[in-house]
Amino acid sequence: MNYVIIGNSVAAVGAVEGIRKQDKTTPIIIISDEPYHAYSRPLISYYLGRQVTQESIYYRTEDFYRVNRVELILGIKAQQVDFDRKEVILQDGRRINYTKLLIATGGKPLIPPLEGIDKQNVFNFSKFDDVKNIEKVATEGSKAIVVGASFSGLKAVEALVQRGVKVTVIDIMDRIMPRVFDEAASQMALKTLEKYGVEILLKSTVQKILGDKTACGILLQDGRELFCDFIILAMGIRCNTDLVKDTKININRGIIVDNKMRTNVPDVYAAGDVAEGYNFIEQRNTEIPIIPNAYKQGETAGENMAGADKIFDKGFVMNSMPLFDLSIVSAGVSAPGEGINIKTIYDQGKNIYKKFYIKNNRLVGYLLINDIDRAGIYTDLIRRKVDISSFENKLGKEGFGFISLPKELRKHIILEG
């Protein structure tokens, strides 16, 4: 009897902790093509910006694997899974038998078929090795182009600015972080980026990457040429399902799992960015590529692999993102839709923006910029599906808290747990 986990990031760590809640002794094997102790992917931008050292990007303490009795097979890719013989086949030909298997292979960067994309000094921004390569060329005074004004693209921008790099950001959309931001929020962030000397080109499409062997710039579709020393591509992340493509495992965008993180193949589970689990707000399976979800899916998978009967059906997207001196948090719905009422508070003087998405008297999403304190209360109103009609007018007001709730509801929430 053993547990095998393919992948060594947040979902894998969650699974180890989940398994060990139920089963202290059965061996656990972790297989990953990356040679590192489990690290936090979002911290690569903090590492690049010299805000943290290599030691502090690790997601758990040094003794994590020893304490939890995990055997590591690192730096070797899992090539294939033989579901009939219950074996994972490694790149070097080894076959690892499993009793219960977790696939936690995460995401992979979306790489468009652009001319010149194979040139040197064109980087992705998702793994530790990416930033280890970027830091060699991101010297003070150098010039970079970041393609994609996404969450991770903008964290790359911030890190480069912290290193004294001159940055231009290109995005095809008419605003930045289009999934979360509306026009007003985008304008606030644009102002901040401009204050830090970042040049932003929206509604701009990359035609090709210029340069000989090494990239030296970008040709836009409108004919403009931009020159730089290196390029970072941050156009999004896809579920990394390569390992199980064209097998009997059910895949949509990600590996489809039920509320217990089981795939359609017996004894095979999936969790984290590779999985497509139940989205509590959308009420269907979707990918939910955020750390809190990866941890909870991993933990649920681990407990169930070890014989428990746990359900996780409360996943939804939520993000917190400090960007220079802006604090941005969002959760749940972030776009207008049928039956959704939107309530907006914009205080230009204080540079505060708040937006609430309400459906059938329930809060289903929010965006807060700068005044983010106590945001978790809103998140919990979403989770609990609380009827907010009696205090809807108080959402986002200064001093909002449990005091704004009807006494009975307040007591119910703060006197439990």
Residue 271 burial class via C-beta count within 10 angstroms: exposed 0-12, middle 13-18, buried 19 and up: buried
Helices 291-305 & 10-22 angle (0-180, nearest 10): 30
59 in helix, strand or coil?
A: coil
- The answer to whether residue 227 forms part of the interface with other proteins (CB under 8 A) is no
* Contacts of 264 by beta carbon, 8 Å cutoff, 6+ apart: 248, 249, 250, 256
Structure tokens at 47: 């590492």
State which of positions 16-75 bind other proteins (CB under 8 A): 20-21, 24, 40, 42-43, 46, 51-52, 56, 58-61, 67
Q: How far is the CB of 44 from other proteins (least distance, A)?
A: 11
Q: How far is the CB of 363 from other proteins (least distance, A)?
A: 13
Q: Which of 9, 198, 299, 301 touches other proteins by CB under 8 A?
A: 299
- The answer to whether residue 404 forms part of the interface with other proteins (CB under 8 A) is yes
Q: How far is the CB of 106 from other proteins (least distance, A)?
A: 14
- The answer to whether residue 120 forms part of the interface with other proteins (CB under 8 A) is no
Question: Please, are residues 303 and 296 in contact by the beta-carbon 8 Å criterion?
Answer: no
Question: Please, are residues 77 and 66 in contact by the beta-carbon 8 Å criterion?
Answer: no
Q: Which of 157, 159, 216, 329 touches other proteins by CB under 8 A?
A: 329
For other proteins (CB under 8 A), the number of binding residues is 47
Q: Which is nearer to other proteins, 14 or 254 (CB)?
A: 14
Q: Which of 71, 174, 380, 398 touches other proteins by CB under 8 A?
A: 380
- The answer to whether residue 318 forms part of the interface with other proteins (CB under 8 A) is yes
- The answer to whether residue 386 forms part of the interface with other proteins (CB under 8 A) is no
Q: Which is nearer to other proteins, 145 or 326 (CB)?
A: 326
Q: Which of 127, 163, 296, 355 touches other proteins by CB under 8 A?
A: 296
For residue 233, the 8-state DSSP code is: E
Q: Which is nearer to other proteins, 17 or 387 (CB)?
A: 17
Task: List, in sequence order, every residue forming a beta bridge with 299; answer none if it has no partner.
Answer: none
Q: Which is nearer to other proteins, 174 or 373 (CB)?
A: 373
Q: CA–CA separation, 52 vs 43, rounded Å?
A: 8
Look up tokens 């989205």; give the residue: 279
Q: Which of 6, 8, 12, 14 touches other proteins by CB under 8 A?
A: 14
The side-by-side arrangement of strands in the sheet containing 284-286 is 255-256, 275-279, 284-286
Q: How far is the CB of 84 from other proteins (least distance, A)?
A: 35
Q: Which of 113, 223, 266, 417 touches other proteins by CB under 8 A?
A: 417
Q: Which of 104, 138, 244, 291 touches other proteins by CB under 8 A?
A: 291
For residue 36, the 8-state DSSP code is: S
Question: Please, are residues 352 and 369 in contact by the beta-carbon 8 Å criterion?
Answer: yes
Question: Please, are residues 329 and 129 in contact by the beta-carbon 8 Å criterion?
Answer: no
* Contacts of 404 by beta carbon, 8 Å cutoff, 6+ apart: 391, 394, 397
Structure tokens at 369: 């910029």
Q: Which is nearer to other proteins, 113 or 399 (CB)?
A: 399
- The answer to whether residue 319 forms part of the interface with other proteins (CB under 8 A) is yes
Q: What is the number of helices (H) and of strands (E) in the chain?
A: 9, 26
- The answer to whether residue 396 forms part of the interface with other proteins (CB under 8 A) is no
- The answer to whether residue 272 forms part of the interface with other proteins (CB under 8 A) is no
Q: Which is nearer to other proteins, 269 or 378 (CB)?
A: 378
Q: Which is nearer to other proteins, 37 or 100 (CB)?
A: 37
- The answer to whether residue 262 forms part of the interface with other proteins (CB under 8 A) is no
Look up tokens 């439990």; give the residue: 416
10 in helix, strand or coil?
A: helix
- The answer to whether residue 379 forms part of the interface with other proteins (CB under 8 A) is yes
* Contacts of 234 by beta carbon, 8 Å cutoff, 6+ apart: 109, 124, 125, 146, 147, 148, 150, 152, 153, 156
Q: Which of 154, 128, 107, 111 is nearest to 319 (CA)?
A: 154
Q: How far is the CB of 24 from other proteins (least distance, A)?
A: 6
- The answer to whether residue 98 forms part of the interface with other proteins (CB under 8 A) is no
How far is C-alpha 164 from the geometric centre of its chain's CA atoms? Answer: 26
Residues that bind other proteins (CB under 8 A): 14, 20-21, 24, 40, 42-43, 46, 51-52, 56, 58-61, 67, 291-292, 295-296, 299, 318-322, 327, 329, 331, 372-377, 379-380, 383, 399, 401-404, 413-415, 417
